[in-house]
Amino acid sequence: MNGYPATWKRPPQIFTHRGWRIGLQTGFAVWLVLALATLDPNWARIVEGWERGLRFAGGFLQPDFTSRWSDISKGLVESLTMTLTSTVAGIVISVPIGVGAARNIAPRAVYLVCRSIIALSRALQEIIIAIFFVAMFGFGPFAGFLTLSFATIGFLSKLLAEDIEDIDEAQAEAIRATGASWLQMINYAIQPQVMPRLIGLSLYRLDINFRESAVIGIVGAGGIGATLNTAIDRYEYDSAGAILLLIIALVMVTEYGSSYLRKFLQ
Amino acid sequence: MLELNSLQKTYRTGDKALNDVTLSVPEGQIVGLIGPSGAGKSTLIRCINRLVEPTSGSITLSGRPITGLGHRELRAMRRRIGMIFQEYALVERLTVMENVLSGRLGYVGFWTSFTRRYGADDISRAYHLLDRVGLMDHADKRADALSGGQRQRVGIARALAQEPELLLVDEPTASLDPKTSRQIMRLLTGICAEHGLPAIVNIHDVPLAQQFMQRIVGLRAGQIVFDGAPSALTEDVLSEIYGAEDWHAMRRGAEEDRAAEADSVAHLERIGA
């Protein structure tokens, strides 16, 4: 019609040269095949694993809360203690670091120090820190408490600092103009602006810390994770099932509880 | 008496915001600072309480130097200079009362302000000021629950809570409608007259400035190009400050605003409000 082209194809967007496209696609396919070949699965072991998996699922269907109840309740109490204490300690340490890491209110030297602390805390994953603290202070919830506090600092300080950097500067300027000191400026102009978010983040961290407390127990940092690890090591899948169900229930309670509270506080 | 002596401000970006500004404001005088955006009006009033650090030149208030003060003396000086802001700059999540009391921050220690246990004088002064600006019933509301005009009244009360010797006012009516703007200007000029307070008012609304200011200073590209009575603000002068523009149309608009206001006042009186 009218001599205009009747077909149109979307032009390639990233690699416009045909040779590059073919080369990259072939290269990726070859790499995938070679990589899969090195996985070397042990088929006999996989078949055997199915049976274990089924016993595990059976444990879930018939969870045994009673026979290991004293271990389970001790683990739970340890986990909850770790969660609460580490969250509180984490918040107490995070607030000054977060304030120091906010570019708009902290002197440059303080800013750099606080940002380094945050970077360090965020670079190390909980499990690695837990292994380190278990090696330093031995098995048990104290290592877990330290781990979670340390991880909380990275999380809360960073988000708090970012929130402080996003505040309405005019309010801070107005308070400074009254002759307020730096601390008064923080209390009157910054705190009211970031408080709802700080509370929300703290509650969110509380439920993250509970979940993490179950994980770091596996490397020896106490709590319900340690109990779970023991149960699996002893092939007591019914007890392990009970523990997992409890973890799921508690995570759901903290999750819904904290999201309800956060909504209420906004 | 406020005196600025060959004040200069050059920002780090190289922008010369103020160039050799010399100005003195006697006791009780309300000076309107007019000029196009970017002329340095905002920079000028922020240099006076050193929210912006001047590059050179000197500022004295009642004979005491402001430039060159150390941290502690600067705080003591700032509390004697009240500031009122364009977008009100209230702390939105604090109550009206806390916002007014924050004008006392320069006078009280951290602990007093942190626990909100202000002295009886401070509290009754704050109530008195809220009454003066007509917000007695709003003391316990959060600042973000108020309308624009009410917020600016809180801003005025906060500045007055400092018991200032000087008011710096940055575009007080820029976010308000014409009628509320006039009410706010009337309140401001009334309060200044009551206390014999000198004020520097940045204002971009020329007719409003002419109506309420005792003296007008025109700023262009960081330099004073006009200093005189509002009546001396001729079209030629305005063109020099702002560049060519149809000032007649703007004045006609202002007359319409005034007529509308008179009309609504008459209406309010009729219904007995």
Give the nearest chain A residue to B71 (CA atoms): A181
SS3 B201: strand
Q: Are A235 and A64 in contact (CB under 8 A)?
A: no
Q: Flag if B93 and A192 touch (Cβ within 8 Å).
A: yes
Contact check, Cβ <8 Å, B102/A180:
yes
A vs B: CB pairs below 8 A: 81
Instruction: State the Cα–Cα distance between residues B114 and B201, nearest whole angstrom.
Output: 32
Residues B246-264 have a mean pLDDT of 67
Categorize the per-residue pLDDT at B273 as very low, low, confident or very high, splitting at 50, 70 and 90: very low
Nearest-CA residue of chain B relative to A186? Answer: B114
Compute the average pLDDT of residues B216-234. Answer: 89
Interface touch B87/A170, C-beta < 8 Å: yes
Record: contact B102-A188, CB cut-off 8 A? yes
Distance CA B48, CA B2 (A): 9
Predicted confidence (pLDDT) at residue B253 exceeds the cutoff of 70 = no
Supply the pLDDT for residue B23: 92
Q: Distance, in angstroms, between B258 CA and closest chain A CA?
A: 31
Tokens in use for A143? 């290592």
Q: What is the 3-state secondary structure (H, E, C) of chain A?
A: CCCCCCCCCCCCCCCCCHHHHHHHHHHHHHHHHHHHHCCCCCHHHHHHHHHHHHHHHHHHHCCCCCCCHHHHHHHHHHHHHHHHHHHHHHHHHHHHHHHHCCCCCCCHHHHHHHHHHHHHHHHCCHHHHHHHHHHHHCCCHHHHHHHHHHHHHHHHHHHHHHHHHCCCHHHHHHHHHCCCCHHHHHHHHHHHHHHHHHHHHHHHHHHHHHHHHHHHHHHCCCCHHHHHHHHHHCCCHHHHHHHHHHHHHHHHHHHHHHHHHHHHHC
* Minimum distance, in Å, between the CA of residue A135 and any CA atom of chain B: 43
Query: What local confidence, expressed as pLDDT, does residue B241 receive?
Result: 85
In whole angstroms, give the CA distance from residue A214 to residue A225.
4
Q: Which residue has the higher pLDDT, B269 or A241?
A: A241
pLDDT averaged over every residue in chain B: 88
Q: What is the pLDDT of residue A106?
A: 92
pLDDT level of residue A220 (50, 70, 90 thresholds): confident
Mean pLDDT of B194-209: 90
What's the average model confidence in pLDDT over B259-273? 65
pLDDT given at position B271: 62
Strands B64-65 and B223-228: unpaired
In the predicted model, what is the mean pLDDT of chain A? 89
Cβ–Cβ below 8 Å for B91 and A173: no
- Is the pLDDT at B264 greater than 80? The verdict is no
- Disruptive mutation site among B78, B85, B86, B91 for chain A (greatest number of A CBs within 10 Å): B91
Q: Report all structural domains of chain B as residue ranges with CATH numbers, in order of start.
A: 2-80+166-271 (3.40.50.300), 90-163 (no CATH)
Residue of chain B whose Cα is closest to the Cα of A183: B110
Q: For residue B26, is it left (φ>0), alpha (ψ between -120 and 50) or beta?
A: beta
Record: contact A171-B79, CB cut-off 8 A:
no
CB < 8 Å to A190, chain B: none
% of chain A exceeding 90 in pLDDT: 48
pLDDT of residue B91: 94
Tell me the average pLDDT across A65-79: 88
pLDDT at site A183: 94
Flag whether pLDDT at B272 surpasses 60: no
Average pLDDT over residues A44-48: 85
Cβ <8 Å between B91 and A193: yes
In chain B, the residue whose alpha carbon lies closest to the alpha carbon of A190 is: B91
Name the residue in chain B with its Cα closest to that of A173: B51
What's the gap between Cα B176 and its chain centre?
14
- Looking at per-residue pLDDT, the higher value among A259 and A165 belongs to A165
Place of tokens 């995070």: A94
- Mean pLDDT confidence for A93-119: 94
Looking at residue B25, its amino acid is V
Could you report the per-residue pLDDT of B121-157, keeping only the tens digit for each?
A: 999 999 999 999 999 999 999 999 999 889 999 999 9
CB B215 within 8 A of CB B247: no
Residues of B in contact with A175 (CB under 8 A): 91, 102, 105
pLDDT digits (tens, 9 = 90+) for A108-141: 999 999 999 999 999 988 889 999 999 999 888 8
Question: Looking at the predicted structure, is the pLDDT value of residue A147 above 60?
Answer: yes
Q: Name the minimum distance, in Å, from the CA of B162 to any CA of chain A.
A: 7
A89 in Cβ contact with A206 (< 8 Å): no
Of residues B145 and A67, more confidence is placed in B145
Q: Which CATH superfamily is domain A61-166+195-265 in?
A: MetI-like (1.10.3720.10)
Q: How far is B205 from chain A (nearest CA, A)?
A: 22
Q: Do B78 and A192 touch (CB under 8 A)?
A: no
Highest mean pLDDT among A51-55, A84-88, A202-206 belongs to A84-88
User: Which of A181-185, A209-213, B219-223 ranks highest by mean pLDDT?
Assistant: A181-185
Give per-residue pLDDT as tens, A156-199: 999 999 999 999 999 999 999 999 999 999 999 999 999 988 98
Tell me, what's the pLDDT at B108?
94
Indicate which of B50, B74, B92, B105 best probes the interface with A, i.e. most A CBs within 10 Å of its own CB.
B105
Shortest CA distance from B89: residue in chain A = A171
Per-residue pLDDT, B268: 64
Best probe of the B interface among A104, A167, A171, by most B CBs < 10 A, is A171
Residue to substitute from A163, A168, A173, A178, interface B, most B β-carbons within 10 A = A178
The pLDDT score that the predictor gives to residue B249 is: 63
What phi and psi, each to the nearest 5 degrees, are found at residue B23? -160, 140
**CB atoms B114 and A187 under 8 Å:** yes
Place B246 in a pLDDT band, splitting at 50, 70 and 90. Answer: low
Closest-approach residue (CA) in chain A for B87: A170
**Residue B61: helix, strand or coil by DSSP?**
strand
The answer to whether the CB atoms of B92 and A180 lie below 8 A apart is no
* pLDDT tens profile B12-44: 888 888 888 999 999 889 999 998 888 888 899
